Amino acid sequence: MANTFSLILVLVTIVTGIVWAFEKLVWAKKRQQAVADIETKTNEPLPKEVVAKVNRQPWWVENSVSIFPVIAFVLILRSFIYEPFQIPSGSMMPTLLVGDFILVEKFAYGLKDPVFQSKIVETGEPKRGDIIVFRYPPQPNIDYIKRLVGMPGDTIRYTEDKQVCVQSPGSQECKPVPRSDVKKSDFFQDGVPLIQAKEQLGDVAHSILISPVRRDNVAAYQPRPYQAEWVVPQGEYFMMGDNRDNSADSRYWGFVPEANLVGKAVAIWISFEFDRDADSVLPSWIPSGVRFNRIGGLI
C-alpha cells in the first residue's frame, strides 16, 4: 500500500527536479545566449535592467529551482535515514511518555522505497528488545510503536501473574524473562500506583509497568488454541507495550509482518507536557510545558 504523503513528496521531488535540471542545463543557457545575440546585433552591451529582464525566470521555474534541493533533502532524510514521530498514548510508559517526539532510524532494518516500502537493500535485522515503529496490521495507514518480544519461531506465553515467558526454537522450556527492582512507580491508574520493574529482554534492559489490581483482559486476546500462548510465524514478530495493562498489542490483534516494519526508535529529540487544569481555556493540543530532562535521551 502506498503511503500518500510519501507519494506526494516523491512526485513533487520528481517534478521540481526535472524543472531544476532543464533550468540548469537548457533554459538558463538559452537566455544567456539571447542576451549575447542581442549584444552582437547592437554591437554594444545591454543595460543591466534589460539583461535582468531577459534572464528573469518564470515564477514556476523560480519556485521549483528554489524548493527542489529542500524537498530532495527531506525526501532522502525521512525515507532512508531518520523520521520524526510523536508518541500519542501511554502504552510504552515508562520508557516513552505522551508528548515525546522521537527519531526513528529508517535504515535499521533495510532501505525501502519511500512509496510502496519494498526493501531495496538489506542493512540489519530486528533484535529482541528493540522499540520499533510499524504499520498497524489491521490498518496499515496507522503507525504503532511497541517493543519486540517474540522473534520468528518463538513461543510466547503470558502467565496469570503477568510474566512473559519465551521459548526459542529448539529449546525445551519456556524461560521467564528476568525481572528485578520491583517497586511502586510514580505513575497512577484510577488512583492506584502502578508497579514498576526492570525486565531483561536479550541484551536489552528496560522498565515495565504493571497494574497491581487490574486483571489481564484474556477474553480479548486474539483467538487461538491456547489462550495465553502464541507461536510466532516465520517472517513475523510479536510486539508488546511496556505499559503491560494499558497496551493494545500482539496479544490482542496478532503478529507484525516484517514488511510492516518502519524503523527503530533511537532517541527523543523533544518532549512536551500536556497537563492542564480542567478549567483551562487552552486547546488540548497546545503543550503546557517542556520536559527538558528528556531532550536528547537515547531509547
Provide the annotated active-site residues: 91, 146
Contact 131, 264 (CB under 8 A): yes
Alpha carbon separation from 90 to 67, 127, 169, 222 (Å, rounded): 38, 23, 32, 22
Q: Which residue matches cell numbers 510492516?
A: 260
In sequence order, what are the residues at sequence separation of 6 or more whose Cβ sits closer than 8 angstroms to the Cβ of residue 82?
Answer: 103, 104, 105, 106, 266
The rounded distance, in Å, linking the Cα atoms of 124 and 195 is 34
Q: How many angstroms from the chain centroid is the CA of residue 142?
A: 11
Range list of β-strands (E), the chain: 82-86, 100-105, 111-112, 119-121, 131-135, 143-150, 155-158, 164-167, 175-176, 179-189, 192-201, 204-210, 229-231, 236-240, 256-257, 261-273, 289-290
Contact 156, 143 (CB under 8 A): no
